[in-house]
Amino acid sequence: MNPNYLDFEQPIADLKARIDDLKHLADADNNMNIAAEISGLEEELNFVTQRVFSRIDPWQNAQLARHPLRPHSADYIPLIFDDFEELHGDRLFADDAAIICGPAKLDGQAVMVIAQEKGRDLKEKMRRNFAMPRPEGYRKAARMMQMAERFNLPIITFIDTPGAYPGIDAEERGQSNAIAENLALMSRLRTPIISTVIGEGGCGGALAIGVCDQLMMLQYRTYAVISPEGCASILWKSASHAQEAAAAMGITASRLLELGLIDQMISEPDGGAHRDLEQAAMILKQALKHQLSQLLPVDLDALVAARFEKFRSIGRPL
């Protein structure tokens, strides 16, 4: 089995391996004409990919959101923004590498980018605490939000966390207070805010940078108050029921769009964003530009009032 493919993606992996083998043979022997066979397998690969991804269930969706190859904030930022300048520190305790932020330009429009980052290899994951921010991370984000408001910069956040860090040191430094202060701050900021779930959106750790005017979500990502495993551990006393929990929780972009909890689902390339990073970044960039063009002309008083009502209305019958 190819470790870069999930269990339900193995038919895709098998076809891709056959195509790669044939291409290798063709490169090794210029007299071998197998272009027609390769073309036929590539057509079959496209068909199988579309079929597999048209049938994925919520648990498989959750697995895709955690795919080891899926793009992270650090992958998207250089492809979407120009002149990004990362800023550090909360001016109180330390710098939290789980959140990266700073000013940038989106096709000439100055913005403030705030993003959660998991890291790629083990050393980087440890440094970034697997995208589980501590209080100083949220306070750093709050500092950047206040700076954005002062300089009339729209705020763009990328959500990708299993949740805020639950360690003793984080609690000692006021984790719950830091999250609550961010919720209150974002609810009244006088500048447009666009948030996008690009991976896992977990618990208050996600919401702390997700109080926004427009909430978007990539097609195969998740957004929930708890992970399927955590929900299963509470309800069934065993994480082995995660698949059932995922189905019941409504964690997928399509379901959340139906419920009115997100404003837009962004389509991903065939096979998920991790199969074509540049195309995924281009699609996300266009969605951000469109949302920003809709928000910039809005009167700030009306913008803040609409944001407040947006979150007050969550949970009302459709």
pTM above 0.85, yes or no: yes
One digit per residue, the tens of pLDDT, for the chain of length 318 reads 677 889 999 999 999 999 988 888 877 666 667 888 888 999 999 999 999 998 999 999 999 999 989 999 999 999 999 999 999 999 999 999 999 999 999 999 999 999 999 999 999 999 999 999 999 999 999 999 999 999 999 999 999 999 999 999 999 999 999 999 999 999 999 999 999 999 999 989 999 999 999 999 999 999 999 999 999 999 999 999 999 999 999 999 999 999 999 999 999 998 899 999 999 999 999 999 999 999 999 999 999 999 999 999 887 765
CA 116 to chain centroid = 9
Q: What is the pLDDT of residue 139?
A: 98
Q: What is the pLDDT of residue 1?
A: 66
Neighbouring CB atoms inside 10 A of 124's CB total 15
182 phi, psi to nearest 5 deg: -65, -40
For the chain, the average pLDDT equals 94
Q: Residue ranges of the domains in the chain?
A: 8-55, 63-312
Q: What is the pLDDT of residue 125?
A: 96
Count of alpha carbons within 13 Å of 295, Cβ hemisphere only? 27
Q: What is the pLDDT of residue 315?
A: 77
* Topology of domain 63-312, CATH: 2-enoyl-CoA Hydratase; Chain A, domain 1 (3.90.226)
Q: Measured between alpha carbons, how far apart are the two ends of the chain, in Å? A: 44
